[in-house]
Amino acid sequence: MLHAYRLLSLHSPHVPPTLWEWEQPWMHHLMMNADGFHTVVVEQRYFRDWEALHSENARMWDVHSRSRPLYDHLETWETWLTAYRQLILDMQEMAGDV
């Protein structure tokens, strides 16, 4: 059983859903981001195994992100996740949380 988190926007219902994060310290960074900026909440979910989590992230990537010009340079959701993790750290640094 895998425990995963993702951020949900409170003020922008049209923002595509973010992918599920399952590793520390990245789950902790998501929670710090939500606490620090008060514009998102953290959703949590359990996946039965890695394949279920991978399948859900791949589905969300294909449906919500792959077709957007902003993400043209990213081939897979795994590539996107690496860039997203850095963005979370950069935002926390700007807020003085890191």
For the segment 41-63, what is each residue's pLDDT rounded down to a tens digit?
889 999 999 999 999 999 988 88
Q: How far apart (Å, rounded) are the C-alpha atoms in residues 96 and 26?
A: 17
pLDDT interval class at 94 (50, 70, 90)? confident
Q: Can you give the pLDDT at residue 7?
A: 87
- Which of the residue ranges 13-27, 41-55, 70-84 would you say has the lowest mean pLDDT? 70-84
Domain extent listing, the chain: 2-95
Task: Centre a 10 Å sphere on the Cβ of residue 7 and count the other Cβ atoms it contains.
Answer: 22
Inter-axis angle of helices 50-60 and 77-95, nearest 10: 80
Cβ atoms of residues 42 and 7 within 8 Å: yes
- Residue 19 and residue 93: Cα distance in Å, rounded? 22
Residue 87, token pair as written in the block? 């963005």
Per-residue model confidence (pLDDT) at position 83 = 82
pLDDT value of residue 47: 97
Distance, CA of 2 to CA of 17 (rounded, Å)? 19
